[in-house]
Amino acid sequence: MFGDSATAQGVSAGLGSPELSFAADLSFGGQAPCYAVTVAAMAVETGMAKNVLVYRALNGRSGIRIGSTGFRSPTAPFRYPIGFSAYPQYIAMWGRRYMIETGTGYEGLGQVAIAQRKYAQTNPRAVRRNPLTMEDYLRAQFVVDPFRSHDCTSEVDGACAVLVTSLDRARDLQHTPAVIEGAAWSTPTGSGLDIADFFNWEDWSVNSHTYHRDRLWQSAQMKPEDVDFAEIYDCFSPVVLMGLEGLGLVGRGEAADFIAAGETGPNGKLPTNTHGGLLCEGYLHGMNTVAEAVLQVQGRGGENQLEKHDRCAVTSGALMDGSALVLQRDAA
């Protein structure tokens, strides 16, 4: 449904759908999964569609890889002339700014990678499953400071999807529905911000989730402390820290210590990225993060299934553009 070589109409034809009443091919990247689910829900709610399949299929390893020759993004003309030709290069600038503003060290980034690797060890879909210690992490060479390979997402060939339908129809299906209780998306503008030039971003130590946080919780009629777990977009390790803090799930500058204390583990206050995240399971533009949220809410998380899994916050997007959802297990 977004940024894919397989169009929505093509997928519909391949599935043998008798009629296609709604289609959307969104030219977004990692910000899109939660937003695409929101668009699908609006189509169902307004009667434009009965069922919407939100999918992502990506040849991230065998096809055109991000930052390689042949890959272009909307901001490429602004970044490439000054040498930022690959995502780790310029997202490293955001990560470093976050570290400076919050006092987070390399070990803080390492805590993200280590915590998610523990989940990945029991996720058969994960491509990175070897145990990881802080010593292992600190011994690894930099890809671009402050990122080591463990801080960077794993590019893979893969696909996943979620089906969005009405609650009445969902209740007739095999699995307990994951109900969309809240949603938000933003590309902040004004005050000199311009999405075509990310260098105008006011504060590189926060991302878009800080801007739509209040709208998300208002739409869900919940507070951050009401959710049982979180699935946070993680193309690079500091994005998890920014996401947790941006949604108000932890306080400013507290995310690294929160993770180090084990609070994002299966028995912690807020289990997070229970599939091992994009860092370990693989990079499908974050659609697999949304899929993991749904599986957990439905009680289908396999070996990593959480005991308490009624409500979840899930995010998409690393920096300027982003979207988020709040999902809840159907109580009916």
DSSP secondary structure of 301-318 = -GGG--S--SEEEEEE-S
Phi, then psi, of 190 in degrees rounded to 5: 90, 170
Tell how strand 142-144 and strand 147-148 pair up: antiparallel
Task: Output the pLDDT for position 130.
Answer: 96
What does the pLDDT profile of the chain (332 residues) look like in tens digits?
A: 555 667 888 888 888 888 899 988 887 778 889 999 999 999 999 999 999 999 988 876 776 665 554 555 555 666 555 666 677 887 898 999 999 999 999 999 999 999 999 999 999 999 999 999 999 999 999 999 999 999 999 889 899 999 999 999 999 999 999 999 999 998 766 544 444 456 667 788 898 899 999 999 999 999 999 999 999 999 999 999 999 999 999 999 999 999 999 999 999 999 999 999 999 999 998 999 999 999 999 999 999 999 999 999 999 998 878 999 999 999 87
Cβ(275)–Cβ(126) below 8 Å:
yes
Cβ(249)–Cβ(242) below 8 Å:
no
Task: Output the pLDDT for position 76.
Answer: 60
Cβ(193)–Cβ(203) below 8 Å:
no
Among the listed residues 35, 90, 119, 233, the single catalytic one is: 233
Task: Output the pLDDT for position 29.
Answer: 78
3-class secondary-structure state, position 231: strand
Task: Output the pLDDT for position 217.
Answer: 98
Sign of CA dihedral 264, 105, 137, 232: positive
For 73-150+177-329, CATH number out of 3.40.140.10, 3.40.50.970, 3.40.47.10, 3.40.190.10 equals 3.40.47.10
The answer to whether residue 283 is catalytic is yes
All structural domains of the chain with their residue ranges: 73-150+177-329
Cβ(236)–Cβ(95) below 8 Å:
yes
Question: What distance in Å separates the CA atoms of residue 293 and residue 319, rounded to the nearest whole number?
Answer: 21
CA contacts within 13 A on the Cβ side of 101: 15
Task: Output the pLDDT for position 194.
Answer: 47
Task: Output the pLDDT for position 289.
Answer: 97
Among the listed residues 87, 137, 211, 283, the single catalytic one is: 283
